[in-house]
Amino acid sequence: MIREYDIAVLGGGPAGYPAAIRAAQLGARVCLVERAELGGTCLNWGCIPTKALQAVAHLVERARTARESGVSRGEVAVDAAGLFANKSRVIRELVSGIEKLLKARKIDVLRGAGRITGEREMDVEGTGRVAATRIIVATGSAEASLPFMPFDGTRVLSSRDILDLGRIPASVLIVGGGVIGCEFATIFRAFGSKVTIVEMLPSLVATEDAHVSRTLQMLLRKKGIDLHLGARVASARATETGVVSKLENGTEIASEIALVSVGRMPRFADAGVETLGIEADRSGIKVNRRMETSRPGVYAAGDVTGGYLLAHVATREGVVAAENALGRAREIAYDAIPSTIYTLPEISRVGLTEEEARKRGERIVTGRFPFAANGKAKGLGEEDGFVKWVAREEDRRLLGVHIIGPSATELLAPAIVALDRGLTGEQFAESIFPHPTLSETLAGAAEALYGRAIDLVK
């Protein structure tokens, strides 16, 4: 028997399940095919579990500095069993929530690997054939590996493996100083591990604002994290106690575990896209701004397209794909995509860096406000970092904002709206921000574009 649907979604991650729900909201008969856990990498092995660990790491850091704020304390200890159990509880509750959402929308969840086999057709392992008027491919991405450091799940770990480690290692070598590598570096350093980062580029989180990157490097070194920048791992060998990695310059680094964090690759090799001749390469499935592939009736969304490998972008792409699959004409805009990094301290940005703006031929000015000049940050004992606006010189039109410091990821929201609405620094700063709050730093940095920030010496 062939199951027939209006929409079949292949993949139940942050692109797939929102696509399925939006299609159902529009009245379609929908099935969602997922071979693993609902929520995909983000919920099960990425965004959510790492933030559960980061929240505890932040708590531990604050507890260790509590005496400076007048709180007497004993030694702060981390219970690894409780730490990882809490992470798993958070995941279970959110996966259960997705299951309830899909059930409420009468979406059929077909468990098993799905593969496109022909026009409007898909085979689902354990279910059989599915026919659908439109197909949305949302199979996500997988961790990239290094040929000389293959994942073994014991000593050489992926970002997925390390979330099930179940213990706090004495030492961690992190290969790759991008977003994921730096997040895990600050998390495990807070838990007491000796941490070393090896990054082939001359700076950490190299896509960020140069001043943000330099500040992060300074703060990580201050925490006792060893950095080898502009360096490469040439080889690695397992020992009885861990891994010995050798850099190209001859330096040897011994660690209990090694985390390889060198990016992610779109995952669609088993999806059957070649059956229909859909245009794709190593960088992902090719789509337009309506999320249409080169084959009419087939859409793709999320990491599998190889664009912004961010869960919030994937969700918007999934919704846009669903709406267009059902006859609407909606395009996705990538002009104000926010980016967040959950290091300690946090980093966030939206819009252009100084370097990017200049490459576009813009004449720019910048306005910066340090958290050390903010009353709330001082009260929290978290004064490191700053807010920095980038604006067009001629009219102070806001082009980008960059934040490193306390609650940076939460502070980004009003800046996203400001860029999306095309505000100038003056228009943004005209709003009255509550005092005392961290959000005042955003207004202060906007005022600094004009040289009139009240709480800064010019």
135 and 10 within one domain: yes
13 and 133 within one domain: yes
pLDDT band at 438 (very low <50, low <70, confident <90, very high): very high
340 is a domain residue? no
Instruction: Look at 70-79, 163-172, 316-325, 416-425 and tell me which has the smallest mean pLDDT.
Output: 70-79
Q: Is 435 a catalytic residue?
A: yes
355 and 382 within one domain: yes
100 and 43 within one domain: yes
187 and 61 within one domain: no
275 is a domain residue? yes
The percentage of the chain sitting over the pLDDT mark of 70, rounded to a whole number, equals: 100
CATH code, domain carrying 379? 3.30.390.30
205 and 180 within one domain: yes
What pLDDT does residue 351 have? 97
430 is a domain residue? yes
Instruction: Look at 56-70, 94-108, 182-196, 266-280 and tell me which has the smallest mean pLDDT.
Output: 56-70
Taking residues 90-110, what's their average pLDDT? 98
Q: Is the pLDDT of residue 70 over 80?
A: no
Q: Is the pLDDT of residue 94 over 90?
A: yes
Number of domains in the chain: 3
Give every CB contact of residue 442 below 8 A, 6+ residues apart in sequence: 369, 387, 401, 411, 414, 415, 428, 433
102 and 13 within one domain: yes
pLDDT tens track for 191-229: 999 999 999 999 999 999 999 999 999 999 999 999 999
Q: Is the pLDDT of residue 341 over 80?
A: yes
pLDDT band at 458 (very low <50, low <70, confident <90, very high): low
Question: Given CA atoms 40, 43, 44, 47 in this order, what sign does their dihedral have?
Answer: positive
Q: Given 58, 228, 402, 435, which residue is catalytic?
A: 435
pLDDT tens track for 267-296: 999 999 999 999 999 999 999 999 999 999
Which residue range(s) make up the domain with 119? 3-142+265-325
The reported pTM is 0.95
Q: Which of residues 262, 283, 313 is at a domain's end? A: 262
114 and 9 within one domain: yes
110 is a domain residue? yes
270 and 250 within one domain: no
270 is a domain residue? yes
132 and 8 within one domain: yes
431 and 303 within one domain: no
119 and 21 within one domain: yes
333 is a domain residue? no
CATH code, domain carrying 221? 3.50.50.60
239 is a domain residue? yes
Taking residues 2-21, what's their average pLDDT? 97
Taking residues 350-374, what's their average pLDDT? 97
151 is a domain residue? no
